[in-house]
């Protein structure tokens, strides 16, 4: 599954470029190495060997790993190549390193040609199967995750893989209520699109897939972009395009939600989730078109549109599993609202068991910075640190008993802002260390004496808190300025640079593309990396189930956790027994809280769904399984609703958005509430608060 995600990204880059070109199939004879690509190979090889943070020898061992990764990039689910194909490619196992040194990567094209031939053969076979009846009472199983399966021994074995796949595709449509003629038409188009999108890949696209496999053999954030992909990437970085506010990618043949952008329509609606699959797209009126096997750019074009217009999506939730029930979602297109990305203030003043207590909550969706306004010298340019300082001043006027910084879902942002926001809570000192490929270490410091807030502090994180979020949370933890609670963070602790290869080319040489490579690693002031492990909370919430399948720790070939020398800083002393006491209170509370138990059960369902690799092809079994899944989910939800004083929900009722929003307020945010209660526990413990000091726990 993980390699499928990475390979999906590589092919997505190629398909994104192809989507912008004239739609045509490419003759096999056109798929060959060009002199421009040879020059690009030379530059990429030099840059990676000299400047990549992870030093890897370009030798026979690397060559074998590269061949494996390239085959997985093309055929991650082992549905096209035969064992005999892979055996033929073995002649390159220990030669690709030498070929890269000589900038002769012709094997990439030879392998791709065989792949394209196999795609044509397989899709034609799949279409032919649609004319034959299937027995949906026969005990058969479809293995949808074949990433670790052996390569098919022969054509007959591969025919069987595809027979089961087609049978599952038909069954999924039957379960969705489609009629036989509709199913045949829909799946015929799907398989034809699958073949067409591969037939449209040109020499630059093939070169990009291979060179990206080269980069990702080193580590997952290093990739090559062809000239057209480089241009599209820069356009996407500069422009604000109207849509739903979600970052999408391709995984196998699905369009998958990778990130919900703060302030966008999807974020405000709250229905779409990370890892949900978009399987259909429609406009306000008319049909919802099946987009399985579509190119990512084509799906994105359907989703984008004029501000104020509606788009309808058919969603296959991650929690439902591959054979689960789809639901529909209507979103009104809009540009991302920058005000919605800004830090927000709320005050919790109805905390169970704590009458009269008030906790300030600052939600920070991203570490934002108007760098253009700052460089122009504008007096009131916008930044996370400026806004949080203002909110802290506001909280002093309230006042509150303590503050929770909510970093859930915060994927990072400006390194300078991570440093400056940390400086609001510590007096002065180092915040983060960066070690570069040459061993040089740079330390980012807070040089602004004084603190904006010196009272009790909790930082709430989850598995999607990444990069700059981890720098801030790690510094607060190392200085012992506050407690980190929630789930282990994402573990993104590396720095990437985007390098246009034309800048290094010989005079008159251009059109070489770009390279994104990892050049440095972040280290906390205590010397530990945020890479891979992330920041481990002082108090770990039980919702952390399955967190190991998210983030860097789930990526194949990611840089490992490591250490460097600690920076010179002065952490506060505290009694570990205080944290032990807080953990006991936390566990007693969540074990007795129906809302928390509901969240834990939901996390278990997500985890089990992610671990599943096959589906029954017996229709009655699938129908029963789906009905049981829905009934169990509704029973869990209704148990919580009754506990909160709401009426149980009927499975067939239409849910009004306004009513849902009111109910969500009644249900509340159990995770945030628990973070606030931990903060109040600190105040109730002996010596748990430092009066007027800069620490949250008293000196030992």
3-state SS string for 317-361: CHHHCCCCCCEEEEEECECCCHHHHCCEEEEECCCCCCCCCCEEE
CA distances from 142 to 66, 101, 171, 225, 614 (A): 30, 43, 11, 35, 5
Q: Is 467 annotated as catalytic?
A: yes
CA distances from 363 to 320, 345, 476, 560, 583 (A): 30, 7, 16, 30, 24
Structure tokens at 323: 């054979």
Structure tokens at 389: 């300082």
Q: For the segment 382-430, what is each residue's pLDDT rounded down to a tens digit?
A: 899 999 999 999 999 988 999 999 999 998 999 999 999 999 999 999 9
pLDDT band at residue 18 using 50, 70 and 90 as cut-offs: very low
The single residue of 63, 319, 385, 467 carrying the catalytic annotation is: 467
Residue 575 has pLDDT above 70, yes or no: yes
Q: Which residues contact 493 (CB under 8 A, 6 or more apart)?
A: 467, 470, 521, 522, 523, 529, 530, 531, 532, 552, 559
343 close to 362: Cβ distance less than 8 angstroms: yes
If one compares 330 and 141, the residue with the highest pLDDT of the two is 141
User: Using CA atoms, how far apart are residues 215 and 227, in angstroms rounded to an integer?
Assistant: 17
pLDDT band at residue 239 using 50, 70 and 90 as cut-offs: very low
Helix (H, G, I), strand (E, B) or coil at 121: helix
* Residue 607, pLDDT score: 86
Quickly count: other Cβ atoms within 10 Å of residue 115's Cβ.
Answer: 22
Structure tokens at 487: 């789930």
pLDDT band at residue 155 using 50, 70 and 90 as cut-offs: very high
Of 102-111, 239-248, 539-548, 600-609, the range with the highest mean pLDDT is 102-111
Domains of the chain: 2-220 (no CATH), 241-332 (2.30.42.10), 338-574 (3.90.226.10)
Structure tokens at 695: 């620490």
User: Using CA atoms, how far apart are residues 81 and 155, in angstroms rounded to an integer?
Assistant: 10
Half-sphere exposure of 4 (CA within 13 A, CB side): 17
Q: For the segment 132-146, what is each residue's pLDDT rounded down to a tens digit?
A: 999 999 999 999 999
Q: Which of 190-204, 237-251, 397-411 has the lowest mean pLDDT?
A: 237-251
Helix (H, G, I), strand (E, B) or coil at 650: coil
User: Using CA atoms, how far apart are residues 60 and 69, in angstroms rounded to an integer?
Assistant: 14
Residue 101 has pLDDT above 80, yes or no: yes
User: Using CA atoms, how far apart are residues 119 and 508, in angstroms rounded to an integer?
Assistant: 39
What does the mean pLDDT of the chain come to? 88
Write the DSSP assignment of 489-556 as a string of letters. Answer: -----EEEEEEEGGGGSPTT-----EEEEEEEEEE-TTSBB-TTT-PPPSEE-GGGTTGGGSSGGGST
pLDDT band at residue 21 using 50, 70 and 90 as cut-offs: very low
575 close to 582: Cβ distance less than 8 angstroms: no
Q: Which of 170-174, 215-219, 291-295, 356-360 has the lowest mean pLDDT?
A: 291-295
* Residue 231, pLDDT score: 67
* Residue 591, pLDDT score: 95
If one compares 626 and 319, the residue with the highest pLDDT of the two is 626
* Residue 7, pLDDT score: 42
If one compares 1 and 249, the residue with the highest pLDDT of the two is 249
User: Using CA atoms, how far apart are residues 101 and 78, in angstroms rounded to an integer?
Assistant: 29
Asked if the bond preceding 399 is cis, omega within 30° of 0, the reply is yes
pLDDT band at residue 234 using 50, 70 and 90 as cut-offs: low
Q: Which of 170-174, 191-195, 314-318, 355-359 has the lowest mean pLDDT?
A: 314-318
Comparing C-alpha atoms, which of 73, 78, 220 is closest to residue 554? Answer: 220
Q: For the segment 433-459, what is each residue's pLDDT rounded down to a tens digit?
A: 999 999 999 999 999 999 999 999 999
Q: Is 616 annotated as catalytic?
A: no
* Residue 577, pLDDT score: 82
Prediction pTM value: 0.87
pLDDT band at residue 663 using 50, 70 and 90 as cut-offs: confident
Q: Is 478 annotated as catalytic?
A: yes
The single residue of 492, 593, 609, 694 carrying the catalytic annotation is: 492
Residue 65 has pLDDT above 70, yes or no: yes
If one compares 327 and 485, the residue with the highest pLDDT of the two is 485
* Residue 86, pLDDT score: 98
User: Using CA atoms, how far apart are residues 481 and 488, in angstroms rounded to an integer?
Assistant: 19
Residue 635 has pLDDT above 60, yes or no: yes
The single residue of 478, 593, 669, 681 carrying the catalytic annotation is: 478
* Residue 541, pLDDT score: 97
pLDDT band at residue 375 using 50, 70 and 90 as cut-offs: confident
User: Using CA atoms, how far apart are residues 470 and 477, in angstroms rounded to an integer?
Assistant: 10
């Amino acid at each position: 599954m993980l390699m499928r995600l990475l390979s999906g990204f590589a092919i997505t880059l190629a398909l994104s470029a192809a989507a912008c070109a004239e739609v045509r199939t490419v003759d096999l004879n056109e798929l060959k190495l060009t002199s421009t690509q040879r020059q690009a190979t030379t530059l990429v090889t030099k840059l990676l060997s000299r400047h990549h943070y992870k030093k890897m020898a370009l030798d026979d061992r690397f060559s074998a790993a590269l061949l494996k990764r390239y085959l997985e990039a093309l055929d991650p689910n082992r549905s096209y190549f035969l064992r005999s194909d892979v055996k033929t490619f073995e002649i390159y196992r220990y030669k690709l390193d030498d070929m890269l040194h000589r900038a002769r990567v012709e094997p990439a094209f030879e392998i791709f040609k065989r792949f394209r031939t196999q795609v044509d053969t397989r899709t034609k076979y799949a279409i032919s199967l649609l004319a034959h009846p299937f027995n949906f009472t026969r005990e058969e199983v479809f293995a949808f995750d074949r990433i670790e399966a052996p390569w098919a021994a022969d054509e007959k074995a591969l025919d069987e893989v595809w027979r089961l796949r087609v049978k599952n595709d038909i069954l999924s449509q039957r379960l969705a209520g489609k009629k036989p003629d509709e199913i045949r038409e829909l799946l015929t188009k799907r398989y034809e699109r699958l073949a067409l999108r591969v037939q449209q890949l040109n020499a630059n696209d093939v070169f990009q897939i291979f060179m990206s496999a080269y980069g990702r053999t080193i580590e997952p954030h290093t990739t090559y972009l062809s000239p057209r992909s480089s241009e599209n990437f820069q356009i996407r970085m500069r422009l604000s395009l109207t849509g739903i506010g979600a970052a999408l990618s391709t995984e196998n043949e699905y369009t998958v939600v990778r990130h919900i952008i703060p302030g966008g329509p999807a974020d405000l609606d709250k229905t779409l989730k990370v890892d949900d699959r978009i399987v259909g797209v429609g406009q306000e009126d008319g049909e919802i078109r099946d987009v399985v096997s579509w190119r990512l750019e084509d799906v994105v074009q359907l989703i984008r549109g004029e501000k104020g217009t509606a788009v309808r999506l058919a969603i296959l939730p991650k929690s439902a599993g591959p054979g689960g029930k789809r639901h529909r979602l209507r979103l009104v297109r809009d540009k991302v609202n920058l005000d919605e990305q800004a830090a927000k203030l709320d005050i919790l003043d109805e905390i169970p068991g704590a009458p009269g207590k008030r906790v300030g909550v600052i939600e920070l969706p991203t570490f934002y910075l108007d760098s253009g306004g700052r460089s122009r010298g504008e007096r009131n340019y916008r930044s996370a640190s400026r806004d949080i300082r203002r909110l802290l001043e506001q909280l002093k006027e309230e006042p509150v008993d303590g503050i929770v910084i909510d970093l859930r879902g915060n994927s990072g942002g400006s390194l300078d802002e991570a440093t400056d926001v940390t400086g609001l809570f510590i007096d002065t000192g180092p915040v983060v260390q960066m070690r570069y490929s040459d061993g040089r270490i740079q330390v980012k410091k807070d040089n602004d004496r004084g603190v904006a807030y010196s009272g009790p502090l909790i930082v709430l994180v989850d598995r999607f808190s990444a990069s700059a979020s981890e720098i801030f949370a790690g510094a607060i933890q190392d200085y012992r300025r506050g407690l980190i609670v929630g789930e282990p963070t994402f573990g993104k602790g590396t720095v990437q640079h985007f390098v246009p290869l034309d800048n290094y080319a010989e005079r008159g040489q251009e059109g070489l593309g770009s390279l994104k490579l990892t050049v440095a690693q972040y280290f906390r002031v205590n010397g530990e990396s945020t890479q891979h492990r992330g920041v481990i909370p002082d108090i770990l919430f039980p919702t952390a189930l399955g967190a190991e399948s998210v983030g860097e720790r789930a990526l194949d070939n990611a840089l490992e956790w490591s250490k460097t020398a600690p920076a010179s800083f002065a952490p506060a002393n505290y009694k570990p027994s205080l944290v032990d006491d807080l953990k006991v209170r936390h566990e007693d509370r969540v074990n007795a809280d129906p809302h928390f138990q509901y969240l834990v059960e939901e996390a278990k369902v997500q985890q089990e769904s992610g671990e599943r690799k096959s589906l029954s092809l017996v229709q009655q079994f699938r129908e029963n399984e789906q009905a049981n899944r829905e009934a169990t989910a509704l029973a869990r939800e209704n148990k919580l609703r009754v506990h909160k004083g709401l009426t149980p929900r009927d499975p067939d009722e239409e849910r009004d958005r306004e009513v849902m929003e009111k109910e969500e307020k009644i249900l509340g945010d159990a995770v945030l509430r628990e973070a606030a209660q931990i903060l109040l526990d600190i105040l109730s413990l002996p010596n748990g608060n430092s009066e007027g000091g800069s620490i949250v726990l008293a000196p030992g």
